[in-house]
A and B are shown apart, each in its own frame.
Chain A
Amino acid sequence: MTRQHSGVDERDFGLESMASCFQGLIPATLFTCSRDGTPNAAILSHVDYVDSTHVALSFQFFNKSRRNIAENPHALVRLLDPDTSQGWRLRLRYIRSETSGPVFERMALRIEAIASYSGLKGIFKLLAADIYEVLSVEKAEDESARSAAAAGRRPAAADAVFTMKALQNLSDRIHRATSLEGLLDSILEGLEESFGFGHSMILLPSDEEGVFVTIASRGYPENGVGAEVRLGEGIIGLVAEARKPIRIAGLIRQLLYAYAVHKRAQEAGMCPPDRQIPLPGLPNPESQLGVPLLVRNELVGVLCIESEMPYRFHEEDKTTIELLGSYLAIAVQNMLLQERFEAMPEGTATPPGQKGAAATVTRPASPRREVAYYTRDECILVDGEYLIRSLPANILWKLLRRRDAEGRVEFTNRELRLDRSLNLPEWKDNLETRLLLLRRRLEQKCSDIRIVPRGRGRFALELGCSVTLVERP
């Protein structure tokens, strides 16, 4: 890197050591100049690190800065290190605009995620990633760093979060899991205990094409099991759509920026007023990481981790995160296959038509609940409150009806698989996932009705209440 300006600290300074400056936590300022010599200054939401001598700036609007760059490739960016408050000047020369490739895709996904949260999909989007060569890096003389002690925050270098030891700990937990439920919980527990990620959730594909459903979560007041996300919605939907990890730091500030765009776009009649999608999980997450769980390009699910720290996830963690996603995906898929396989043998379950153990007799003084099944929507409401829909609803309805008609309390996964009225696909029916989802929704919303595992491929339907079954169109 050459140093062209005198009178400043112009040490050789690799951009890779300035990672915290590129998290988008504090806006940067871009200075450009038109061909006729008129300077321009504009606030930038993000400067992206490309490599040790290049950065990328997002091109979202045809603004004056962009027009100037087309005329005159010289630019200056003023950046701030959020850890130390040291100001920096990066002297840049525009090289090219990219509309595809890894840099563009990474920037576009982050912007799309913000847009999705703000109801701005299609308006707030990346047109190109403008690549600049960094000609020099200079300290701002008037913006000196705080001492590390005064800062009281993390040093500029990223903490080593994804260490081999932490990965090994997580791996050990995963190997100990004996059921899908245990596996999912151990993944989320492991993420907290080994990596310090206390807020996380796993979503698996639902019965409906392009819809993902929360199957496990950790660290939230409500477990949110059953909450659905569609492809392209928010960070989770975008991860599922792109099948790539998305990492957002300084989320609140970026959302504020997007809301400013949204307000102007709404005033200009460019977007409807009510398209905002509520943020999942934490009320005010500062950083989010979405990881696709991929096995041989098949999307098994999505892992979403949130943090109240502005930048918890680092660029240098990307490779490890992808690796972790693959590992978790294999573990989840293997467990699904294992549970399906274990549910196959006959002879261990209570045969259809025979009453199971009568350990779960309705107590005389138990409350009465109305369970209503809506045939058109294939959904179940308990005492007027939504419980579940689609295949898990059909399964519960069938179990309740049989229990009511035949007095049965024990059932097998196999008999559900053979039940043609449930319309399970022949291959990869995800029955075990649906049963787990159903069980957790019941735990959350109606603990008087319980699905209790009873060994390999068997479970009981236990009632702590009297149930009135009502079928409605």
Chain B
Amino acid sequence: MIDTELAAFLQEGIAIQIGTRNAVLEPNGARVVAVKVEDDGQYVVAYVPKAAAPQVVPDLEANGQAALVFARPPDERACQVKGVFVDARAARTSERSFVADQWDRWLKRLAGIGYPAAAVENWQTWPCVAIRLRVTALFNQTPGPGAGAALA
């Protein structure tokens, strides 16, 4: 579902959040440190700080519904990936450098728009919980006309 160009965009180091909901349809959400697109764009692994994982993992285990939003300043290109939960596990040590590299690219982008990396020095970026989702839909979310249109 996710083509090569879109996969590169999603993994280039941008703002990412994951949204879920509970049994009474109350939304929950958490920051995502990095994502990995797998299996020809059929799956996405979202790396969520361990401290934030309790915000979303119970919902995912209960009903499986997830939405990932991606946004890139300064051009504000944005999209949303809808998915269903596959599994969640502790991120492996071997994945740490991949996650850290993507997060560092995001910090450099933030610095480019005037938000210094030091501002988020106390944020947790590791350990992470790796949440695997099967992609079910893609939507454009760049502000303006066309926002909300299906991408695939």
Q: Interface on A for B, CB 8 Å cutoff? A: 7, 26-27, 29, 31-33, 35, 37-43, 45, 61, 63-64, 72, 74-76, 78, 85, 87, 89, 91, 140-146, 150-151, 252-253, 256-257, 259-265, 268, 270, 310
CA distance A33 to B119 in the complex (A): 31
Which residues of chain B from 39 to 85 have a CB within 8 Å of any chain A CB? Answer: 49-52, 54-55, 63, 65-69, 71, 73-78, 80, 82
Task: Determine if B121 is an interface residue (Cβ-Cβ < 8 Å).
Answer: yes
Contact with B30, one of A32, A142, A253 (Cβ below 8 angstroms): A142
Question: Are A142 and B52 in contact, CB atoms less than 8 angstroms apart?
Answer: yes
Question: Are A42 and B26 in contact, CB atoms less than 8 angstroms apart?
Answer: no
Which residues of chain B from 83 to 122 have a CB within 8 Å of any chain A CB? Answer: 113-115, 118-122
Question: Are B120 and A265 in contact, CB atoms less than 8 angstroms apart?
Answer: no
Question: Are A264 and B67 in contact, CB atoms less than 8 angstroms apart?
Answer: no
* Whole-angstrom distance between the Cβ of A375 and the nearest chain B Cβ: 46
Q: Can you name the residue of chain B whose Cβ is closest to the Cβ of A258?
A: B143
Which residues of chain B from 18 to 38 have a CB within 8 Å of any chain A CB? Answer: 18-21, 24-31
Task: Determine if B147 is an interface residue (Cβ-Cβ < 8 Å).
Answer: yes
B residues less than 8 Å from A268 (CB atoms): 144-146
CA distance A384 to B25 in the complex (A): 69
Question: Are A264 and B68 in contact, CB atoms less than 8 angstroms apart?
Answer: no
Q: Can you name the residue of chain A whose Cβ is closest to the Cβ of B48?
A: A142
B residues less than 8 Å from A263 (CB atoms): 144
A residues less than 8 Å from B17 (CB atoms): 29, 31, 41, 78
Q: Can you name the residue of chain B whose Cβ is closest to the Cβ of A61?
A: B147
CA distance A151 to B67 in the complex (A): 33
Question: Are A74 and B27 in contact, CB atoms less than 8 angstroms apart?
Answer: yes
A residues less than 8 Å from B115 (CB atoms): 26
CB contact under 8 A between A75 and B27, given known A42-B69, A142-B51, A144-B122? yes
Q: Can you name the residue of chain A whose Cβ is closest to the Cβ of B77?
A: A260
Question: Are A140 and B31 in contact, CB atoms less than 8 angstroms apart?
Answer: yes
Question: Are A144 and B123 in contact, CB atoms less than 8 angstroms apart?
Answer: yes
CA distance A310 to B114 in the complex (A): 10
* Whole-angstrom distance between the Cβ of A75 and the nearest chain B Cβ: 6
* Whole-angstrom distance between the Cβ of B60 and the nearest chain A Cβ: 10
Chain A facing B: main interface SS:
mixed
Task: Determine if B4 is an interface residue (Cβ-Cβ < 8 Å).
Answer: no
Contact with B67, one of A7, A40, A91 (Cβ below 8 angstroms): A40
A residues less than 8 Å from B113 (CB atoms): 253, 256
* Whole-angstrom distance between the Cβ of B59 and the nearest chain A Cβ: 8
CA distance A45 to B76 in the complex (A): 11
* Whole-angstrom distance between the Cβ of B143 and the nearest chain A Cβ: 5
Question: Are A257 and B27 in contact, CB atoms less than 8 angstroms apart?
Answer: no
Task: Determine if B15 is an interface residue (Cβ-Cβ < 8 Å).
Answer: yes
The contact sample of 28 A-B pairs, CB cut-off 8 A, is A26-B115, A33-B21, A37-B25, A40-B67, A40-B80, A41-B19, A42-B69, A43-B15, A43-B69, A61-B147, A64-B148, A74-B25, A75-B27, A76-B28, A85-B120, A140-B52, A141-B124, A142-B52, A142-B123, A142-B124, A143-B123, A146-B122, A150-B118, A150-B121, A252-B114, A257-B143, A264-B146, A268-B145
CB contact under 8 A between A37 and B122, given known A141-B51, A256-B76, A261-B144? no
Question: Are A31 and B121 in contact, CB atoms less than 8 angstroms apart?
Answer: no
Instruction: Across the A-B interface, give the 6 residue pairs with the lowest CB-CB distance, nearest first.
Output: A264-B144, A260-B76, A41-B19, A261-B144, A31-B27, A142-B49
CA distance A35 to B26 in the complex (A): 11
Contact with A41, one of B18, B77, B120, B124 (Cβ below 8 angstroms): B18
Contact with A29, one of B55, B69, B118, B146 (Cβ below 8 angstroms): B69
CA distance A143 to B25 in the complex (A): 25
CA distance A146 to B116 in the complex (A): 12
CB contact under 8 A between A151 and B119, given known A39-B66, A260-B76, A264-B144? yes
* Whole-angstrom distance between the Cβ of A451 and the nearest chain B Cβ: 44
A residues less than 8 Å from B75 (CB atoms): 256, 260
CA distance A89 to B21 in the complex (A): 14
CA distance A38 to B35 in the complex (A): 21
B residues less than 8 Å from A91 (CB atoms): 26
Question: Are B147 and A63 in contact, CB atoms less than 8 angstroms apart?
Answer: yes
CA distance A265 to B122 in the complex (A): 39
CB contact under 8 A between A74 and B122, given known A40-B19, A43-B15? no
* Whole-angstrom distance between the Cβ of B66 and the nearest chain A Cβ: 6
Question: Are A41 and B29 in contact, CB atoms less than 8 angstroms apart?
Answer: yes
Task: Determine if B11 is an interface residue (Cβ-Cβ < 8 Å).
Answer: no
CA distance A150 to B123 in the complex (A): 14
Question: Are B63 and A257 in contact, CB atoms less than 8 angstroms apart?
Answer: no
B residues less than 8 Å from A38 (CB atoms): 65, 67, 82
Question: Are B122 and A43 in contact, CB atoms less than 8 angstroms apart?
Answer: no
CA distance A197 to B24 in the complex (A): 50
B residues less than 8 Å from A40 (CB atoms): 19, 27, 67, 80
B residues less than 8 Å from A140 (CB atoms): 30-31, 52
